[in-house]
Amino acid sequence: MTAKKIEAQPQTKKAFPRRLIGEALVMLLFLLFMVPFFLVVINSSKTSAEIINSPVAWPANWSQLITNVTAIFTSPIVRYTSAFVDSLIITVLSLAVIAFFSAMCAWVLVRTKKRWSTAVFLLFVSAMVIPFQVVMFPLVQWFRIIGDTIRLPLLGTYHGIVFAYLGFGCSMTIFILHGFIKGVPLELEEAATIDGCGQARTFFNIVLPLLMPAFVTVLILNGIWIWNDYLLPLLVLGTSGGIKTIPLAVAAFAGAYVKQWDLILTSTLLAMVPIIVLFLFAQRYIIKGMVEGAIK
């Protein structure tokens, strides 16, 4: 006992400055990690000439930020307001459709103990390895064929892209919800059936409310993917159509105003603000959702 105490003493003395150095080092690393965001903010508050003069200098006049933001909002190319609304519509609709229909499908697959239900589930899971690149060109061709056949265009429309997101998002969502529904006690559903609930009513009144914690994970994982996605909107919506998501708008803007960093950086700033604001409010859920999604 005494021997241990003597040994422990020099360690605590040494540990104090070491702890302080550790804290300072991580702080420094953290600040380095944040430098890109800082650079975006200061350079969004400068004129093009000021940026060329020095990209690291403090802005001479912060009101330039407002001038730049106004330029983005009034630019006919980026149409930030309508891009924001389009992104919001597409993301919200896709999330609702993916979560709702995947839950219905996953529930049937869990509760049906047949060979075909296992096969369907495995089909969904194994499709998760298919990279977007293999299906993207045939998808566009195929969407054009379907659109022509049923006289309801899928390319360049909200319902077309939401349908595509349902197809791409349902595999992983069914996989996550399948795991969760397995943990929902069957007795609850049996009790509802005895009380006279039909199959559909049992699902909507009993099962669906119990899935809320899993929905948080599913909504966050799909939401971040859909909000930031560039290739699928590029292919399904195109660059010349009326509907444009934020990534499409930023790419169009950067392509049109080559090297006009004041405006390009301001457009990236505006693209980041909604996500960062959301993150500040829902930080705990977002981190938890993304980590759980990966581990499953």
Residue closer to another protein, measured from CB, 51 or 218: 51
Shortest spacing between CB 279 and another protein, in angstroms: 6
Q: What is the dihedral of CA 183, 184, 185, 190, to 10 degrees?
A: -140
Euclidean distance between CA atoms 137 and 143, whole angstroms = 10
Shortest spacing between CB 222 and another protein, in angstroms: 14
Q: What is the dihedral of CA 141, 146, 148, 153, to 10 degrees?
A: -90
Shortest spacing between CB 241 and another protein, in angstroms: 16
Residue closer to another protein, measured from CB, 38 or 62: 38
The CA-atom distances, in angstroms, between 11 and each of 22, 23, 35 are 16, 18, 36
Residue closer to another protein, measured from CB, 98 or 243: 98
| Polymer length in residues for the chain | 296
Residue closer to another protein, measured from CB, 62 or 204: 204
Shortest spacing between CB 273 and another protein, in angstroms: 10
H or E, element range at 237: helix 231-237
Shortest spacing between CB 17 and another protein, in angstroms: 15
Residue closer to another protein, measured from CB, 243 or 265: 265
Euclidean distance between CA atoms 280 and 278, whole angstroms = 5
